[in-house]
Each structure stands twice: as structure tokens, then as C-alpha cells.
Amino acid sequence: MTAAGFLLSARGVRKAFGSFVALNSVDFDLPRGERHALIGPNGAGKSTFIACIAGQLPGVEGSILFKDREVARLMPADLARRGIGRTFQISRAFLHMTVLENMASAFVITSGRWASLSRSVLKEAEDRALAMLGTIGLSDRLETPVADLSLGDRKRLEFGMALAGDPELLLLDEPTAGMSIKERHHLMDLVAARVDETGKTLLFVEHDIDVVLRTAQRVTVMVRGAVLAVGSPQEIAANEEVQTVYLGG
Ligand code: ADP
Ligand code: MG
């Protein structure tokens, strides 16, 4: 935890792409155990901020402390070891593999034991994958190639894969994009339950304000690379400035 008791604490985070400043002096504090939504119009810098936390961008200025250690300049593998997890983009090569194979791969990769693969490592990964697929409700799709999954099931699998390393902080960038309303609520209720049960902390980007109100305990609104407002979902929904720039009210 940082000195002030936050799991994650960012100060003065700045990221430019060439001459374009995508993030400008962002301060952000995340208490342990919180479910926190990041919202704002397209291009606000939400994905860039998530990528900064996940150590995926070069040239990030400012400070991002996770458990009192600087994360902005770490490699992704180090982040997983430190306890930060984010959704896997299932790569093209893996789309022809089955749900079970993908989930087991996530366990092998996050275990850090892929350099010394053995039959017992694979067996353990498969056992853990079967358990996780049960938890996220994909037990009836074990042998389905990922390419043949419905969008909702694929998003659930990606969420399960993000959990494989048992991260303390879970970063989800638009986990419900493209889903039906029913699927969104279903997935995010699963996410919230899982986060609470296992004492994780969640930072997620979401466009659907109903999902935000339902899932987040606190909300940060970003506009043009800066934080406009932070508050409870109710405070944010009632904030006139937010309504003007974001909700179009
Ligand atoms: P959001 O997720 O809030 O929609 P992004 O963080 O993806 O916004 O993008 C913020 C701004 O930074 C956008 O104007 C986008 O075009 C720009 N941007 C993002 N990534 C890059 C990149 N790799 N190169 C150049 N510009 C980028
Ligand atoms: Mg984005």
C-alpha cells in the first residue's frame, strides 16, 4: 500500500504520442478492494491510462505506485508477478484452440513455469482451468474453438484468463463492449462477485452508464487527457459538468 493507504496511487501522469498529449498530469488513487469505473468520451485517454498502469507504454512521465513500488516502467511479466492483471487479447493463433486449451495456457503463462514445462505442470494448469471455467460458466464449452464462441462467452473467457494469475488489481478495458444489455449485466455481476469474494481491486472502463451505476463503488470521469471528476456513481450522475461533457445532458 502507498503511504496514504492506497493500493494504487498515480501522480502527474503524462503521456504524449509525438506532439499529441493523450494524458496530462493525471492524479488517481485507488483504495484496496474498491470497484472503480473509468468513464469519459472517446479519446479521453482511458485506454492510455490503463496501458500506463499495465506498463505497456514507453515514455510515461510522472509516478504510478502500486503497493509503494513504481510500476510505470516495469515489463508486463513483472507486473503479473506483482499482482496486476488485465484482460488478455486472445491472439489470432489461439482462436483455433479450444476454450479449455486457452484457459490452461493462461494458467501456464501466469505461473511463470512455461520455461520448465512438464506433464505435471500441464496437468495442474488443466485442473485449474477446469475449475475456473466452471466458475465463469463455460463448462459446457470446453472443446469449442474460441473462434466459434458467442461474443458474450468469449468476453467471459477473457475475464477468466485475466484472473488466472490471481491478480490483486484487475484492469478491464471495456469488458462488455459489443454485448447485449443482458449479457453485460450478467458478466459484470460475475466480475463484481468474483472481485469481492477474492478481495481483489477492480478498475474498469465502461461506456454503459447503467453498468457503471450497477458495478462501480466509485467513478472517475476523464475528459481530454485529464480527470474531470471523481465520486460515487450517484455524485457523478448528478454532476452538472459531467452531464454536459459526457452524458450530453
Ligand atoms: P479512450 O480509451 O478514452 O477512448 P485512448 O486512450 O484510446 O482514449 O486515446 C486517447 C487519445 O490518444 C486519442 O486521441 C487517441 O487517438 C490517441 N492515441 C492513443 N493511442 C495512440 C497511439 N498509439 N498513437 C497515437 N495516438 C494515440
Ligand atoms: Mg479506450
How confident is the chain (249 residues) per 10-residue block, as mean pLDDT? 78 97 97 97 95 88 91 67 77 86 90 79 94 95 96 92 92 91 93 95 94 96 96 93 73
CATH of the domain at 225: 3.40.50.300
- How many domains is the chain built from? 2
CA torsion 129-76-114-159 (nearest 10°) is 10
Same domain, 73 and 172: yes
Same domain, 200 and 101: no
Q: Is there an atom of ligand 1 within 6 Å of 40 CB?
A: yes
pLDDT of residue 186: 92
Q: Is there an atom of ligand 1 within 6 Å of 36 CB?
A: no
Same domain, 79 and 174: yes
Same domain, 123 and 180: no
Domain boundary among 107, 142, 165: 165
Q: Which one of 13, 14, 17, 222 would you pick to mutate in the ligand 1 pocket, going by the greatest count of ligand atoms within 8 A of its CB? A: 17
Q: Which one of 13, 20, 220, 228 would you pick to mutate in the ligand 1 pocket, going by the greatest count of ligand atoms within 8 A of its CB? A: 20
pLDDT of residue 245: 80
Give me the domain span that covers residue 132.
88-165
The contacts found for 21-28 with CB under 8 angstroms, 24 or more apart, are 21/225, 22/48, 22/225, 23/48, 23/49, 23/52, 23/225, 23/226, 24/224, 24/225, 24/226, 25/62, 25/226, 26/62, 26/222, 26/225, 26/226, 26/227, 27/227, 28/220, 28/227
pLDDT of residue 249: 46
Distance CA 163, CA 87 (A): 8
Same domain, 145 and 95: yes
Ligand 1 atom showing the smallest separation from residue 17 Cα: 25
Same domain, 197 and 217: yes
Same domain, 29 and 58: yes
The reported pTM is 0.91
Same domain, 199 and 213: yes
Same domain, 39 and 106: no
Question: Which residues have C-beta within 8 Å of that of residue 119, sequence separation ≥ 6?
Answer: none
Which residue type occupies 74?
A: L
Same domain, 105 and 171: no
Q: Are 173 and 88 in contact (CB under 8 A)?
A: no
Same domain, 25 and 64: yes
